[in-house]
Structure 1
Amino acid sequence: MEPAKPMSNSLRKLFLVVSAISMIVGGCAGSLVIRLYFLHGGSKIWLSSFLQTAGCPIILVLLAITYMARQKSEGSKNTKFILMEKPLFNASVIIGIIFGAIAYLYSAASSKLPISTSSLIYSCQLAFTAGFAFLLVKQKFTPYTVNTLVLLTIGPAILAFNATSDRPEGESTKDYIIGFVMIGSAAVVNGFVLPLMELAYKKANQEINFTLAVEFNMMMCFFATVFSTVGMLIHKDFQLSFVWLILVTNTVEFCDPGSPNDI
């Protein structure tokens, strides 16, 4: 079997642009929608965590495109439909369940904290990622890494000393502290997950390429969704009507200048 041809530069750039846009739009819009759901009367935390990963089947479109591209370069008879082998699959199951727990913690925190606070604290995951990467995969620190860690640590530290300044109206100190702890826990665990994924790639004894990475993320999100689905079944969240999604289209009502701290 002839080795697969490397991906063209134009295709690499296309995937990079699509990934960047998806991260920006998904990160910003997802956080806003989650907060707006709780702000307008939503109370189902498991439903919110479920929706964070329930869109994973759309990744199948990307996998189909890469499969057709591999067919052209490798030949239809030599092209494997699934590249991921059992060790990496097992890792995706474990990491997916952890990721589902992160989604729950993030949703629970978003129900109690304004998005300005939760986003700032959650950004500390980069610091934890760097620390766990050093411990798990021996990632070396650079001056840029240290500078990032310092800057990301100072912000939440200042916020902690002035924690009541952006507290939602009517929220108790206990709820605010619980939200603070939950979003901090989500940042720590998420910082552990990313190096854990890198460690799984190293231990898999497979050649890591774009398709394999997409397959891994697909399965990870799938099992995170399964985790949230089980939580929804236990708490009977499936009995909730999905009418609240109409709120996404009512942008005029969202932009209430009289409530600057609501989101």
Structure 2
Amino acid sequence: MEQHEEEVRLLLNYQEVEENSMEVFGQSTATMMVKSYYDKGGNSKWMGAFLQFVGFLILLPYYYISSLKKATRNDFNSNQSSSSSSTSMLALIYVTSGLLAILKCYFFSLGLLYLPVSTYAIISSSQLAFTAFFSFFLNSMKFSPYILNSLVLLTISSTLLIFKTETESEHLLKESKKNQVIVFICTIVASAGEGLLFSFTQFAFEKLLKRESFSAVMNMIIYQSVVATCIAFVGFITSGEWKGLRNEMDEYEMGNTSYVMNLVLIPIIWQLYSIGSIGLISEVSSLFADALGALAEPIVLIMGVIFFYETMDGIKAISMVLALWGFISYVYYHYANKTNSNAENKYTNQENEY
């Protein structure tokens, strides 16, 4: 029995490591590729949002095959108990999460279109603070001194960029000062939307779906993506952005082939991020998943300096240090909390043996 429990624990730890890697790699790489799309001539805001979800199509064959067989007894029991969940409740969960997902992605697309990717990355790190805020109300999360320290640092890190002065070598936007404020606010709203989505997803798993099986995670990914993709497609058509696609491809700086390859690879990489983030939310918590996402932001910032030749001025450097400090503060809290929990469980088990 003890050996079986140890094998399960090791398996879960291995899955968490995989999901950690998928989330960090997926978010940082996909963000850079979307920025490359905009930087080299792309202009469609709905396209940036559409690409984040349409990649669910590559999961359909695997999803269909896996649904035909029961991989584990846990999945079987979960599917049996799922009959108690009404169809209307499931539809509400998937539609709500899909709406939140596409709205935050549209605002994030605005940020990537107009802001330098380094500035965008630092602002986006504020989503950890929003996740903690919404988790307090939806998931009854308790605030420790380490979490409060993390939230304060991440908030200061993002708001510090408001006071960043524009230089001749780097313009925050392609347009007027008024639009600078608008897009800055849009990116903050997108970060808040990401925090709300993560917290709602955890709430759905724990309180509504009441299961955290592989099939539940896949259902969330697929149906959320279906709703978001449909909304993005409607927005893409009604906005008239589809009319400029041919011209956009012809004028793309890296050529037609690179344009097509970029649009094909972006959805695939975003799916890695979705699998990693939703998997971590179901197994650990929304705040932990978002903390791992915050780790990708400094990576994006550094890659922006290397690949897009963006300058690293004093304010950006300070913002990055504060963001990293806030992330480390949260990780230490999670580590200390898990260590104390393991120690208590070990002590309890020893008492039971006696």
Pick the TM interval, shorter chain.
Answer: 0.7 to 0.9
d(CA) in 1 for partners of 2:49, 2:182: 17
Give 3-state SS (helix, strand or coil) of 1:111's partner: helix
Matched residue type, 1:89: A
Aligned to 2:15: 15
Aligned to 1:227: 231
Q: Contact (CA 8 Å) 2:49, 2:105: kept in 1 or not?
A: yes
Q: 1:20-78 CA distances to partner (integer Å, 9 max, x unpaired)?
A: 222122111111111111111211111111001111233446646865773464799x8
d(CA) in 2 for partners of 1:255, 1:139: 34
Kindly tell me the number of residue pairs found equivalent between the two proteins.
254
Any unmatched runs of 5+ in structure 2?
250-255, 265-302, 313-354
Aligned to 2:34: 34
More helix by proportion, 1 or 2?
A: 2
Matched residue type, 1:20: N
Aligned to 1:105: 107
5 Å-filtered alignment, 1:170-249, equals 171-204=175-208, 206-239=210-243, 240-241=245-246, 243=256, 244-246=259-261
d(CA) in 2 for partners of 1:130, 1:169: 30
Q: Choose the corresponding residue for 1:261, options 299, 306, 310.
A: 310
Q: Contact (CA 8 Å) 2:139, 2:203: kept in 1 or not?
A: yes
Q: Contact (CA 8 Å) 1:70, 1:79: kept in 2 or not?
A: no
d(CA) in 1 for partners of 2:139, 2:207: 11
Q: Contact (CA 8 Å) 2:78, 2:211: kept in 1 or not?
A: no
Deviation at 1:110, TM superposition (A): 0.9
Matched residue type, 2:204: A
d(CA) in 1 for partners of 2:33, 2:172: 17
Say which is worse superposed, 133-142 or 99-108, in terms of deviation. 133-142
Q: Contact (CA 8 Å) 1:114, 1:261: kept in 2 or not?
A: yes
Query: Residues 75 and 160 of structure 1: is their aligned pair in 2 closer, same or farther, counting only changes over 3 Å?
Result: closer
Q: 1:151-206 CA distances to partner (integer Å, 9 max, x unpaired)?
A: 10121122111152552485432332222111011011221222222222344253
d(CA) in 2 for partners of 1:64, 1:160: 48
Query: Residues 117 and 258 of structure 1: is their aligned pair in 2 closer, same or farther, counting only changes over 3 Å?
Result: closer
Q: 1:128-159 CA distances to partner (integer Å, 9 max, x unpaired)?
A: 11011112221111122112101101211221
d(CA) in 2 for partners of 1:261, 1:38: 15
- Aligned-pair identity in percent equals 25
Matched residue type, 1:173: K
5 Å-filtered alignment, 1:78-89, equals 80=79, 85=85, 86=87, 87-89=89-91
d(CA) in 2 for partners of 1:169, 1:212: 41
Q: Contact (CA 8 Å) 2:102, 2:231: kept in 1 or not?
A: yes
**RMSD, aligned CA:** 3.6
Give 3-state SS (helix, strand or coil) of 2:34's partner: helix
TM-score (norm 1): 0.80
Give 3-state SS (helix, strand or coil) of 2:101's partner: helix
Give 3-state SS (helix, strand or coil) of 2:23's partner: helix
Q: Choose the corresponding residue for 2:128, options 121, 126, 129.
A: 126
Aligned to 2:50: 50
